[in-house]
Amino acid sequence: MKKNEDGIGTFFKKMQGSYIVMAVAYVVFGLSLLVKPELSTTVICYAIGAVCVIYAIANLIKYFTGSMNRMYIEPDFVLSVIICVFGIVTIVRPSVIISILPFIVGIVLVFSGLIKVQDGINLKRFNYDRWFLVLGFAVISVILGIVVLLNPFGTGLLFTRMVGLFFTVDGVLSISSIVMLRKNGKFY
């Protein structure tokens, strides 16, 4: 029985590490959007495009060097070509991706905000004094995400900077939630 508990504890420690990495990434991403919104969105497009092209080329190589049976069953060739074309378009015409980025960010803000709502409720259950701060910012994040989804193209640079602010705040809240939970032994 002890072995199973250790496995669960190890699992939650790994999850906590992933949670912290994601929170730090949110802070870095948010600060970059606050400081240099135009450059940040273009660099994001180049990075996404490069990852897509590299992934597609690796899959195409795997497709052409793989077994004949696998080639017939899996649609790697078509998917790889589509991903490669998407990556090239993203690199050559980042404005196309930038135009849909607000919609994608709106979805991320809504889902992340909903997770933070749960964190705020959990902090209240553990009787933390400042649980309402996490909950309040989480609700703001959800509202901002909904506003972005309803009007993704009308916000421009202000939108990008606001998203940067909220990603930064969201990351800081995630880190502070983990620190508070860890300090009181409520997190593995």
- Give the list of residues 6+ apart from residue 61 with CB closer than 8 angstroms, or none: none
Geometric angle at alpha carbon 33, from 31 and 38, rounded to 5°:
145
Report how far apart, in Å, the C-alpha atoms of 143 and of each of 139, 140, 146, 156 are. Answer: 6, 5, 5, 18
Chain length of the chain? 188
Q: What is the value of pTM for the model shown?
A: 0.51
More confident site: 182 or 171: 171
Confidence of residue 93 (pLDDT cuts 50, 70, 90): very high
Give me 71's structure tokens: 């080639």
Mean pLDDT of 100-129: 88
Mean pLDDT of 152-168: 76
Burial class of 65 by CB neighbour count within 10 A (0 to 12, 13 to 18, 19+): exposed
Is the CB of residue 90 less than 8 Å from the CB of residue 49? yes
pLDDT at 57: 93
For residue 93, the 8-state DSSP code is -
